[in-house]
C-alpha cells in the first residue's frame, strides 16, 4: 500500500472537507449552547420547592444519562417522523446532542452554584437585593470560575461526539472522509485529513478555554501554567480552591 502525503494535503484544503468541518463546528457550538441553556434550567429545577420540577428533573437525568448518545440520535431521527414531527438530519442531530448535553451540563452548572457559599447569598439579600439580583451580581460571577473548566472540557467532548451523527447522513467531517475514501479506498489519507481538522478545532477550543478562564479568574494563570498539555487533552484540571 502506497501512502500519499500529497493527497492528504489535497483533502485538507479541499472544499468538501472544509464544508464538513464547518458543519461539525456549527453542530458542536449549537448543541453546546442549547445544552447549556437546558442544563441551567435543570440545575435551577433541582433546587425548586416544587416536587413536580424536582421529580421531572430526576427522570430527565436518568433517561438521558442512562442511554447511549447514539441510541438517542437514532431514536429522535427515526421516531419523531412517526409522531408527525419531521426534522432534517441536522436538526435531529442538534436536538439529540443538546438534550444529552443538557443532562451533563445540569450537574456542571449545579456544582458551580453550590460552590458559592450560602452566606454570600444571605449577605446580598441583607443589602436589599432581590433574588434575581443576587443570582446575577453575586452567585453567577463566582460560579463561572467553577463552571468554565468543565464547560471547556464539555465543548471538546461535544466536538468528538458530533462524529456520531454521521449515522443519520448528516454531512459532517467524518461522513465526508468516509465517503471520499470509499470512492478510491484511500482511507489513510482521508481519515488523516479529517484527524487534522479535529485536532485543529480541539486546539482552538483549548485556547479559547484558557483565555476565558484567565479573563474570569486571574488565578487561572497559575493553574494553567501548572497544567500540562497532556492534562488539557485528557480533560484533567488542577484542583481549585472552593469559593468561600
For every one of its 244 residues, what pLDDT tens digit does the chain have, with 9 covering 90 and above?
567 889 999 999 999 999 999 999 999 999 999 999 999 899 888 877 788 888 999 999 999 999 999 999 999 999 999 999 989 999 999 999 999 999 999 989 888 888 887 777 778 777 778 777 777 778 877 888 888 888 888 889 999 999 999 999 999 999 999 999 998 889 999 999 999 999 999 999 999 888 887 877 666 555 555 555 555 555 555 544 444 3
pTM confidence score: 0.82
Is residue 207 within 8 Å of residue 80, measured between CB atoms? no
Amino acid at each position: 500500500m502506497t501512502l500519499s502525503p500529497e493527497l492528504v494535503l489535497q483533502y485538507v484544503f479541499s472544499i468538501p472537507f472544509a464544508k464538513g468541518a464547518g458543519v461539525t463546528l456549527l453542530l458542536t457550538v449549537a448543541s453546546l449552547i442549547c445544552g447549556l441553556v437546558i442544563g441551567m434550567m435543570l440545575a435551577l429545577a433541582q433546587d425548586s420547592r416544587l416536587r413536580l420540577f424536582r421529580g421531572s428533573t430526576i427522570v430527565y437525568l436518568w433517561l438521558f444519562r442512562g442511554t447511549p448518545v447514539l441510541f438517542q440520535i437514532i431514536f429522535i431521527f427515526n421516531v419523531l417522523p412517526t409522531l408527525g414531527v419531521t426534522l432534517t438530519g441536522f436538526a435531529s442531530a442538534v436536538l439529540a446532542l443538546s438534550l444529552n448535553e443538557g443532562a451533563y451540563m445540569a450537574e456542571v452548572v449545579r456544582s458551580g452554584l453550590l460552590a458559592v457559599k450560602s452566606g454570600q447569598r444571605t449577605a446580598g439579600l441583607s443589602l436589599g437585593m432581590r433574588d434575581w439580583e443576587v443570582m446575577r451580581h453575586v452567585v453567577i460571577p463566582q460560579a463561572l470560575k467553577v463552571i468554565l473548566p468543565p464547560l471547556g472540557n464539555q465543548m471538546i467532548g461535544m466536538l468528538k461526539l458530533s462524529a456520531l451523527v454521521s449515522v443519520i447522513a448528516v454531512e459532517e467531517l467524518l461522513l465526508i472522509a468516509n465517503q471520499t475514501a470509499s470512492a478510491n479506498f484511500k482511507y489513510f489519507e482521508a481519515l488523516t485529513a479529517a484527524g487534522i481538522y479535529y485536532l485543529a478545532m480541539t486546539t482552538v477550543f483549548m485556547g479559547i478555554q484558557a483565555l476565558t478562564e484567565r479573563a474570569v479568574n486571574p488565578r487561572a494563570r497559575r493553574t494553567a501554567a501548572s497544567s500540562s498539555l497532556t492534562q488539557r487533552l485528557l480533560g484533567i484540571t488542577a484542583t481549585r480552591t472552593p469559593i468561600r
